[in-house]
Amino acid sequence: MSSAKGLDGVVVSATNISHVFGEEGRLVYRGYEINQLAAKATFEEVCFLLWNGHLPKRDELDTLNAALRSRRTLPPAAELALRAMPKEADPMDALRTVASAVGAALPISGKPSYDQAITLAAIFPTIVAGFNRLRSGRDLVAPDASLGHAANYLYMLTGEKPPENHVKSLDTYLVLLADHGMNASTFTARVIASTESDLASCVVGGIGALKGPLHGGAPALVMDMLDQIGTADNIKPWIDQTLNSGGKLMGFGHRVYRTTDPRAEILRDMARQASTPEFFALARGTEEYAIEELNKRKPERRLYTNVEFYSASVLNSVGLPRDLFPSTFAVSRVAGWTAHVLEQMVGNRLIRPQSEYTGPQGLTFVPVDQR
């Protein structure tokens, strides 16, 4: 038996939720190309699409909106857990911990359901925004049922009604990141679901996988990189020095895409409109020179901009602290995680792959005093 490192090329499940066509640079949700949904469908519409397999009619969307807006408040035990979090905690640790408390407090148990998926999606922004306020010495802002998902998230962060351009940018970001095939966190959630565990446990596992810098933790590192470059004049010397010394450029390359990530192209246009001209010139110049240099040095890798690069610009433009970028990714991706868990429950079979043993054999036990 031979093993595929990182499960490269191994098909672990059939799904009709979403797919990444890596060679073509396409992402499809339930049959819709991502550019058919971005800036056209709301995040709530995309949630319905992922959960139910079709875009909602007006009455279906109204019903979902009402359900989401009515379930944003944390149960008392989960709010206590949120208030008990150390101010210096990583926001992803706060989200993981309080999401688990929500699962215990509601309680979310038994076979995962559509109703439970709505509840978890509704409450994620409350956790992230609440932690950000508490760690900065401010009290919680109660959710506003008159606002949509993206607008309410921004409102709970600041306590002020957000400008429409910020709402639109964040809503489009949430649509773009809602699902992405069998990525690491989605696979994690499906493995947990296959044991017939509860939906909260599946989602908490997804958060743990998303926290890693190789998955959802990279956009903040893109901002750090752009800060270090500083000005457009410094792009070439900074990138040359970094690559010559074996360093890594953040926001380039993807395990599946072998051309530009379609989400990055959409986010680039958003960043152009939302950022200052100076910042966009820095980001765009960095992208162009980095791609040129990476493909000159590593032509076999076919490295292009990934979603993290311009996610950083867009999330920065709507006023989010950069260490909230991964947890805002989770605010979006919880839609995909829960959709995949519900799909896993149809004809479920425990996911239990084999491994290739490479350790010693035939050793003889020796008592401790004789070793």
Residues known to be catalytic:
254, 308
DSSP symbols for 32-53: EEHHHHTTTS-HHHHHHHHHHS
CA distance 81 to 232: 45
Ramachandran angles phi, psi of 320, nearest 5° = -80, 135
DSSP-assigned beta bridge partners for residue 28: 19, 33
CA distance 321 to 332: 17
In the chain, the amino acid numbered 291 is: I
Please answer whether residues 61 and 161 qualify as being in contact, where contact means their C-beta atoms are separated by less than 8 angstroms.
no
DSSP, res 19 = E
Tokens 């206590």 identify what position? Answer: 80
Nearest partner of 305 among 331, 278, 344, 271, judged by Cα = 271
Tokens 């990141």 identify what position? Answer: 177
Who's near 276: CB < 8 A, 6+ residues apart?
A: none
